[in-house]
Structure 1
């Protein structure tokens, strides 16, 4: 007579492993909801709100923000729509520039680049649905020239990136980013 391992202890081990696997998967899936990422607050260190703040050049080990491309120059504008609509404009002498519009948690809300902007220049208005309703009653003269972005997010930031093809273009790209505007709709910076 051959003895087999008792079946009951083997079933307990398998059930325990299955239960542990399910608990592990549930914990991994729910962790992002419990961790509060607030990119908006972290960006306050770069300068005042409603102004494009040009970031320093990227050097290995001292990046101002994670995952920035060292071949690009970057400028950040932080804003709160509770302070009014935000008008952004820029003309950057670069073969490629892009703008990413993010909510306060750092999630992309909208993006465009010099090829998709229409004119090759940045002309954007960011506002809430309520602000858009008011704007429709009394639109600015240049509304047809603006890319209008309506968002429910009250806190956000824009990251303007411009490619620097070589050292000779660095000063013109820097000048374009320094001249970029991020202001209230009336045109005055905060």
Structure 2
């Protein structure tokens, strides 16, 4: 990607990289990876990026300087609910492997599992009823989760979506909400943390 062109284009349009990520239904870190060429871009993503940058797909592909992966339609298994303000204790209360239902993952991000948000403590970033895809693999190194929006399972059995920051002891974290009215939880013992990798917005109407 020609970064100067990308940054100049955003400035010219009065738009932001975070706005692009939201438009594409991706975590902002995914856009950085695309710009650094450490992650490929799917054709569906390229279409969305070209739309946001108000340029042609052919011009964008030329600026990307990398191969665009063909379209892949993948489904994601919805395994339960995650709290963003409300306490949720049932992320896997169904027959193992069956899930609650399946949805199409956005922009071919595809596969894996996702959860449904309950509550509004992470609004306007995540809203009640939206689906969050996440990666348990990316959560294996806790230090790489700090400062990121993550699905978290606490030792007391709660499933939450929060911004994760360090705690004072191993396997403890500080949980921060986007909504400043929601108290910060410090030094919370956890079972696992998984960064959010994509968001599927709740349908309007």
Q: Judging by fraction of residues, say which structure has more helix.
A: 1
TM-score by shorter chain over 0.5: no
Structure number, greater radius of gyration: 1
TM-score (norm 2): 0.23
Larger RCO (CA under 8 A, 6+ residues apart):
1
